[in-house]
Copies of this chain bind each other. A is one copy, B any other.
Amino acid sequence: MPPRQPAAARAADRLHSAAIHLLRRLRTEDDASGLSAPRLSALSVIVFGGPITLGDLARREQVRPPTITRVVRDLAQLGLVALEPDPADARVRRAVATARGRRLLDEGRRRRVAALTDAIAALPARERARLIGALDVLERVARPEAPRAAPRPRDPAPGR
């Protein structure tokens, strides 16, 4: 049976495919950072999410606590993040990015989006405008539970 919303279904399909190919295209660049995708993603959340609780980080990464424990431990060992105790709750540990972590992420990010940036810059002005104009809708569709109250969409996290 055909879906009830043929236009929406067709759009969903194209969007899905486009997202896959987009990421495939960008993923290659991440290798240069020397970090795996999960580590890069966690580092990104730590860099932009300020000092963050390991539990919160796990939720943000959609991963179970033990997984985060290990990833953060390894990032700490690499000198990219530091773990500090929570002053209010002794059970909690908060992860913060070190200067090195920040730098590494920044360089990786630059590299990663460089190709995409060029592709977008090369678009005819009208098409570029069309793409940019649709970004907020796309973001909403992509993340249903996006922070509504937060003033800015920020979150440049590369995810994984």
Contact = CB atoms under 8 A, between A and B. Distances in A.
Which DSSP category, helix, strand, loop or mixed, fits chain A's interface? helix
Given A17-B155, A153-B17, A25 B143 contact: yes
This chain: how many copies in the complex? 2
Nearest to A154: B17
Given A7-B132, A134-B134, A159 B15 contact: no
Given A14-B153, A20-B158, A117-B5, A25 B144 contact: yes
A23 interface: yes
A32 interface: no
B113 A159 contact: no
Contact of A113 (B9, B114, B118, B146): B9
Question: Which of A110, A134, A143, A146 gathers the greatest number of chain B CB atoms within 10 Å?
Answer: A134
A121 B4 CA distance: 10
A131 B138 contact: yes
A58 interface: no
A150 to B, nearest CB: 13
Given A8-B128, A19-B23, 6 more contacts: A8-B120, A11-B117, A11-B128, A15-B131, A25-B142, A134-B134
Interface of A: 3-5, 7-9, 11-26, 62, 109-110, 112-114, 116-121, 123, 127-128, 130-135, 137-144, 146, 153, 155-160
